[in-house]
Amino acid sequence: MKYAIVSDLHANMEAFNTILSKCYEVGVEKYICLGDIVGYNAEPSACLEKLKSLDVVGIVKGNHDEYASNGDNEMEGFNPHARNAVLWTREQLSEEQLQWLSKLPLRTSIPAINTTIVHATLDSPDSWGYVFDTHHASDNFSYQFTQLCFCGHSHIPIAFCKKPVTMRSDKMIEEVPEWAYLRHEGMVPSNPNEADSMSIDIQPGWKYLINVGSVGQPRNRDPRASFAIYDTEARRIVRYRLPYDIATTQEKIRAAGLPEKLATRLQKGT
């Protein structure tokens, strides 16, 4: 069985349609969404309805989903651009769509594949914290009772593994370095107009905490849409990076009257 894991769609239909084409091509059967379906970009309703049309077996609420649907106008911690986008998003969604977003869980498990999903962190999902290093990963692993946990929120792909105690390693929790390609300051993709991929083979007895990156607004200086596919038979998770029609997404942002920064940042992947 192949499961697509998508996060931080952020109302970007061009990016969403691009990754869905890859899913159809490789035979994805089911979908998992890590939240932030809406916010920032110009097609929240279309993205939400497209997602609902898929065979989604697990979905959680992101902070933009929360603020779009809870009526909070203060949005403490949000920058002005994000706040303006949320207020605009509310006006684009029906009452039914807002109710649907509001009822999404903050975290949930998918027993069939021994997996937990959360937008932010397992230890405090409603605080909207980030996982950037082994210290944060350690806190998360303390609440992780499944072999796999997928998270989003940072828009930056990163993965950690926790080795079995029997391995007697000095470092029980380590970052998976190849997964975080282009995460570090100053690194840029050699050719952002080409698609590529990387993979993690799931080892028996190990635990994994994986951020698959963002479909709709990458922030690791790689503007390509990022998502992952978990092949349960091969025991392999593959992260894909796909170029999409950024110019059209930018045109839609500007036409909607959303902040210009939301358009320009897509080209830079920041």
Domain ranges of the chain: 2-268
- Class level of CATH domain 2-268: alpha beta
Burial class, 56, CB count within 10 angstroms (exposed 0-12 / middle 13-18 / buried 19+): middle
Q: What's the pTM?
A: 0.95
pLDDT-based confidence at residue 187 (cuts at 50, 70, 90): low
Q: What is the dihedral of CA 198, 201, 207, 212, to 10 degrees?
A: 20
pLDDT-based confidence at residue 76 (cuts at 50, 70, 90): confident
Tens digit of each residue's pLDDT (9 = 90 or more) over 77-131: 788 888 899 999 999 999 999 999 999 999 999 999 999 999 999 999 999 999 9
CB contact at 8 A, 4 and 227: yes
Average pLDDT, the chain: 93
Tens digit of each residue's pLDDT (9 = 90 or more) over 188-212: 676 788 999 999 999 999 999 999 9
Q: What is the mean pLDDT of residues 239-248?
A: 97
